[in-house]
Amino acid sequence: MADNENHRQALSDICVFPAPSLEEWEEAVKKTLKGKTAAELHHVSEEGLDIKPLYTNKDRPAGLNTMLSGDFPYTRGSRAFQNQKKPWEIVQRTFERLPEKVNEEMKEGMKKGQDGSDIGINRGFQRQEKAVSATGVCVSSTQEASAVLEGIDVGKYTIALHAEGPVLPFFSIWISALRQNEGWKQFKGSITVDPLSELAETGSLATSLDTAMDQTVEILKWQDQEEMDFPVIRVSSETWHNNGADMAQELAALTASGVYYVNELLDRGVSLQKVLRSLVFHMPAGGRYFPEMAKLRAARLLWANAAKAFGAANEECRIELRGSTSKRTKTVYDPFNNMLRGSIEGFAAAAGGVDVLHIAPFDEVIQKPSSFASRIARNTQIILQEEAHIGKTMDAPGGSFYVETLTEELAEKAWTLFQEIEKEGGIASALASGFIQKQTEASREVRLKQIEERKKGIIGVNMYPNDKEKTISAGYDDEKEINKYNDQMHNSSKRRKEAVSFKEAVQLAEQGFSLWEIAGSDLSENEGLQVTAMPLVRDAERFENLRTEIEAYSAEKESLSLLVLGIGPLASCKPRMDFAAGFLKTGGYSIITIQADTIQEAEKSAEEHNIPVVLCGSDEQYKLLKEENLQAIKKNAGTLMLAGEDSRDIIDLCLNKKKNVYQSLAWLREKMGGKAYAD
């Protein structure tokens, strides 16, 4: 009560208007909404949390008034002082696949304002699959790894290397290449693996989890001998996020993954302090803005408590938190909107306190990003730092009653889910049993249904599609060059020289042995755990697939058109005409709109066009439509639809806000020829 009085007194000192009480505000809401109460404005989030329309100091979690950034449990940030010039590092991912081109891409980015590069290793190439993956550099030897790092000051710029597959061969190649770099002992970046994420995303591992952990211990021992200390394990929630997890599930998976790695390394005799220093955390930010800020704050809070439970000192519970924009939220259609999505997500990540950030180019889900798209992504970060001044304030969302409350509630929900995973035997067992996959699928399907029903809008996809859209200019196609390179590399690797220690692996790498030769086995054969895969599922995919099928048929054979036919005065039928056209354009159909003043004119228009018809008019106008009128229109249309409500059997489909848009479009596709569109 005293806090509220102090708040009201503070407001009265600086404001000429009286400070309203919560009761007065609720009464004003009731008056504005004509009888509805503030309680009716509550909604439930994807995570099942009750979101209120207004938060006050009463909602604020206890204990936050005295907590500062840099204080345990680091909800407000891991650092006590902000680097005003560089509040976070701009570390963009590379997208080229040939070593020399990756090197050029890195140098270009660093010259234009990046602090480093995040380099993924090509999964298909490393696993010796017939076709290489669309992203990731193809590196199989020290010579190729050296080509990637040529001329890069690894003590000045952050180089974040990440790969899959056998740990020793991967590390040996890159450590061997690093040793050729002047100042390699001051290596600023990280060389990491994340076998749990690899297992979850692909459903398999080239080696067992136990082997991966055994080999990781070898790397940590080598670090001690060389007096080096950089992260070797990435704890990431990106796979769970991309597959459709809600925020609480994502946080729970992140925490459970970290706990798994700590337990495995402790069991192998590594000290807790060394284990905690070997981890780096990564989370993508989606488009929900304030909740994304709360999610990142909750991640620090959760891990601090988890690390504390292992017996870590407060200062050892800090994490380096790397952020990125979401791939799940991006669209193939109207892709320039992805610039806006990336800006919002990048803003949320920066305000949420990430230490390192990657903003994806807007065309990432369509093609290898163009130089223009990469430049815009990089400059978005620079603008956030230099013009928007996001980093000038420590814990920018801190003090917001809404964000503070949501942080606490997300953390509590995630901790409960984390405990459920632990009851399953830990995250590896939960993946093997399908427990996590089922939870994530359930969450994903709820969200996708909301998208199908347009309760959640995706601009350019299920809302306001651009039917005049032109394909963006394609970037450089390196497919032939890559396939030739892939064949050459695999054909040249004939020797088998399996390394038994990391020291021996590095020696073999320095002698010119390839990744696969050092591994001593065929990496395309999976000997590890097999689980149900959790691949990327973008929110827009279902609508995009429908639209792609119909557009492909229209381009190759004939245009699939629909007649949106208004009946009666324009003022009365136009709202429903606009609604029906927008509804159907999301499926890729060509829309012809005609307004007929009379029913007879409508019948004549249907006869002239001889294509499926959507009738649009007022409810009063629909009452004037007799059965014979509808039969005459349907005789020529074949398929008869109506915008609004009508229970007559002759109407094949009613289009209205209650309808599942995706299911209606899928029904229409089957009605007009089904899968033949894609043939």
**Tens-digit pLDDT profile for residues 267-294:** 999 999 999 999 999 999 999 999 999 9
Per DSSP, the three-state class of 283 is strand
Closest to 550 measured CA to CA, from 580, 592, 593, 587: 587
**Averaged pLDDT for residues 44-56:** 94
Are 86-230+476-520 and 235-458 equal in CATH topology?
A: yes
- The strands making up 613-616's β-sheet, listed across from edge to edge, are 590-596, 561-567, 613-616, 640-643, 653-655
Fold of 86-230+476-520: TIM Barrel (3.20.20)
| pLDDT tens digit sequence for 563-581 | 999 999 999 999 999 999 9
Closest to 567 measured CA to CA, from 635, 624, 492, 634: 624
Fold of 541-678: Rossmann fold (3.40.50)
Out of 144-148, 354-358, 478-482, least confident range? 478-482
pLDDT of 137 > 50? The answer is yes
Residue 475: predicted pLDDT: 63
Percent of the chain with pLDDT over 70: 90
Q: What is the DSSP letter of 493?
A: -
CA distance linking residue 126 with residue 265, whole number of Å: 25
For residue 311, count CB atoms less than 10 angstroms from its CB and return exposed for 0-12, middle for 13-18, buried for 19 or more: exposed
Angle at 343 between CA 255 and CA 292, to 5 degrees: 30
* Strand locations in 548-587 (E): 561-567
How sure is the predictor about 527, in pLDDT bands with cuts at 50, 70 and 90?
A: low
Per DSSP, the three-state class of 234 is strand
pLDDT of 676 > 70? The answer is no
Sequence-distant (≥ 6) Cβ neighbours of residue 407 within 8 angstroms: 61, 75, 294, 297, 298, 301
Residue 154: predicted pLDDT: 94
| pLDDT tens digit sequence for 140-168 | 899 999 999 999 999 999 999 998 878 89
Place of tokens 């390179």: 485
CA distance linking residue 253 with residue 240, whole number of Å: 7
| pLDDT tens digit sequence for 204-260 | 988 889 999 999 999 999 999 999 999 999 999 999 999 999 999 999 999 999 999
DSSP string, 92-131: EEP---SHHHHHHHHHHHHHTT-SEEEEEBPHHHHTT-SS
CA distance linking residue 129 with residue 117, whole number of Å: 26
**Averaged pLDDT for residues 557-562:** 80
CA distance linking residue 483 with residue 662, whole number of Å: 38
Closest to 164 measured CA to CA, from 141, 187, 136: 136
CA torsion, points 290, 293, 299, 305, in degrees to nearest 10?
-80
| pLDDT tens digit sequence for 420-478 | 999 999 999 999 999 999 999 999 999 999 999 999 999 999 999 998 888 776 666 67
Residue 60: predicted pLDDT: 84
CA distance linking residue 355 with residue 620, whole number of Å: 61
Question: What's the sign of the alpha-carbon dihedral 310, 315, 317, 320?
Answer: negative
pLDDT greater at residue 22 or residue 117: 117
Residue 492: predicted pLDDT: 61
Q: How far, rounded to the nearest angstrom, does the alpha carbon of residue 560 sit from its chain's CA centroid?
A: 34
Percent of the chain that is helix, strand, coil (3-state, to 5): 50, 10, 40
For residue 24, count CB atoms less than 10 angstroms from its CB and return exposed for 0-12, middle for 13-18, buried for 19 or more: exposed
Angle at 463 between CA 618 and CA 379, to 5 degrees: 150
User: Angle at which helices 99-111 and 371-386 pack, to 10 degrees?
Assistant: 30
CA distance linking residue 89 with residue 79, whole number of Å: 14
pLDDT greater at residue 494 or residue 333: 333
How sure is the predictor about 74, in pLDDT bands with cuts at 50, 70 and 90?
A: very high
- What are the extents of the domains in the chain? 2-41, 86-230+476-520, 235-458, 541-678
CA distance linking residue 538 with residue 458, whole number of Å: 11
* pTM of the predicted protein model: 0.92
CA distance linking residue 417 with residue 427, whole number of Å: 11
Parallel, antiparallel or unpaired: strands 640-643 and 590-596:
unpaired
Closest to 358 measured CA to CA, from 349, 370, 367: 349
Tokens, residue 380: 């978005």
DSSP string, 180-209: TSTTGGG--SEEEE-HHHHHHHHS--SS-H
- Mean pLDDT, the chain, rounded, equals 90
| pLDDT tens digit sequence for 500-521 | 688 888 999 999 888 878 887 6
Per DSSP, the three-state class of 563 is strand
pLDDT greater at residue 124 or residue 615: 615
- Residues 591-608 as b/e (b if ≥16 CB within 10 A, e otherwise) read bebbbbeebeebbebbee
Contact 463, 334 (CB under 8 A): no
**CA distances from residue 552 to 200, 312, 468, 477, 546 in whole angstroms, order as listed:** 34, 58, 15, 22, 10
Q: What is the DSSP letter of 247?
A: H
Residue 560: predicted pLDDT: 84
pLDDT of 678 > 50? The answer is no
- Residues 359-378 as b/e (b if ≥16 CB within 10 A, e otherwise) read bbbbbbbbbbbbeebbbbbb
pLDDT of 310 > 80? The answer is yes
Contact 440, 532 (CB under 8 A): no
β partners of residue 357: 90, 323
Residue 1: predicted pLDDT: 45
Residue 677: predicted pLDDT: 36
State the CATH architecture for 235-458.
Alpha-Beta Barrel (3.20)
H-helix segments, 434-514: 435-452, 479-491, 502-510
Closest to 448 measured CA to CA, from 537, 382, 388: 537
* Strand locations in 224-370 (E): 233-236, 279-285, 321-325, 356-358
Closest to 309 measured CA to CA, from 255, 250, 373, 386: 255
**Averaged pLDDT for residues 371-375:** 95
522: phi then psi, degrees, rounded to nearest 5? -80, 115
Q: What is the DSSP letter of 594?
A: E
